[in-house]
Amino acid sequence: MGNGEGAMTTKYIKWTPAGGFDRDELSEAAQVIREGGLVAFPTETVYGLGGNGLRPEVSKKIYAAKGRPSDNPLILHIAERKQLDLIARGISGKTEKLADAFWPGPLTMIFEKASCVPYETTGGLGTVAVRMPDHTGALEFLKRAGVPVAAPSANTSGRPSPTKAAHVREDLDGIIDMVIDGGDVGIGYESTILDMTETIPVILRPGAVTKKMLSDVIGEVVMDPALMSAGRDRPKAPGMKYRHYAPKADMIVFQGNLAAVADRIQKQVQSYVCDGSYKAEEIGILAAEETAGSYPEGQVVSVGSRKKGTVGKMIYGALRKFDELHVKIILSESFYELEQQEAIMNRLLKAAGQRTIDV
């Protein structure tokens, strides 16, 4: 992967909630964006790979850095509400209400694009995705940059999204100009995407802003049916059709009563070892903190606590961990009882290429 020009040196700078930025380094990061370079930055959801979203050649550079298909559109990140009027058309009363309620925050909205937004940024579509991240460091950086910043998740295409700067380094070191290290992100999975170009807005990707939260503010919203159909329908967010968020190993999600699931996973491990399909150390188990101790065999990775609500935050880090452990198959618990189950199970099932076993 890379730009084919030989590695560049990626500069790492720090942002902390208490200390903010070193002023000079913030200016430098903003300057890199204005000059057409690429800067990875933290948001409350995942790290983004940012560049000037109004310049076609910069969007092309973003696709190249990620190794991403160029039909997969980018989200424009803004720091102030008034920037929306420059890049989007047909802003409705519903949009105003949602922006008041959820911006800054993990909600991306899709509008008809204004002419200044290049088709290179929107993957050839006449619509544009926009969000205002709820992260002080990101907002400060975006404000300084002064332009809408196109930013996909800062991972190599096909790998799990980065939730810490070390993940960005694994994928993009030597390929991009700068990384702003803001520590661990707060949410851990990508924003909710809501298509505002339909009369009844459509959720194209579930996220931390749930269907219920949206309909409490604007009334009826619907889920894109393609999200539920395990690959049969074509999703309207082009990115949702790829098997991304994926670890290198094959993966199976076990669904059903939790105690039965843990028991069934354990039996599956035994049968793999017994029939020679896999050695115990080649089998990964994705489990909640509460059940992680109950598996005698296999490489167990804890994905956080069901009770403390940390599963979302740790899910991508856990999937990356399995790559480091070089397992060949991952058996995963499921998390349907959580409030954010729609978003979390969407990511897990995509990572598994929709392979499930009902217990």
| 128 touches ligand TXA (CB under 6 A) | yes
* Residue of the chain from 10, 95, 191, 302 that contacts ligand TXA (CB under 6 A): 191
Name the residue number minimizing CB distance to ligand TXA.
Answer: 239
Closest approach, Cβ 279 to ligand TXA, in A, equals 35
* Pair of tokens at residue 244: 């991304």
Span near Mg ion by CB under 5 A; candidates 145-153, 166-174, 226-234, 300-308: 145-153
Closest approach, Cβ 80 to Mg ion, in A, equals 24
Closest approach, Cβ 96 to Mg ion, in A, equals 28
| 74 touches ligand TXA (CB under 6 A) | yes
**Which amino acid would we find at residue 89?**
R
DSSP strand pairing (192-195 vs 202-205)? antiparallel
254/329 Cα distance (integer angstroms): 13
DSSP strand pairing (250-255 vs 283-287)? unpaired
* Pair of tokens at residue 79: 């720091």
| 75 touches ligand TXA (CB under 6 A) | yes
Name the residue number minimizing CB distance to Mg ion.
Answer: 153
DSSP 138: H
- The partner in contact with residue 73, picked from ligand TXA, Mg ion, none with C-beta cut-offs of 5 to 8 angstroms by kind, is ligand TXA
CB neighbour list of residue 229: distance below 8 Å, 6 or more residues apart: none
Closest approach, Cβ 168 to Mg ion, in A, equals 12
| 153 touches Mg ion (CB under 5 A) | yes
SS3 assignment, position 179: strand
Give me the 35-54 binding string for ligand TXA, x by CB under 6 A, dash otherwise. --------x-xx-x------
Pick from 177, 176, 162, 235: which is nearest to 202 by CA? 235
Closest approach, Cβ 58 to Mg ion, in A, equals 18
- The partner in contact with residue 48, picked from Mg ion, ligand TXA, none with C-beta cut-offs of 5 to 8 angstroms by kind, is ligand TXA
Place of tokens 């290198």: 248
DSSP strand pairing (75-77 vs 48-52)? unpaired
Pick from 329, 135, 86, 355: which is nearest to 230 by CA? 355
| 204 touches ligand TXA (CB under 6 A) | yes
Place of tokens 């300084």: 144
Span near Mg ion by CB under 5 A; candidates 147-155, 212-220, 287-295, 304-312: 147-155
First CA to last CA distance, the chain:
40
Q: Which residues bind ligand TXA (CB under 6 A)?
A: 43, 45-46, 48, 72-75, 108, 110, 122, 125, 127-129, 131, 133, 151-153, 190-191, 193, 204-205, 236-240
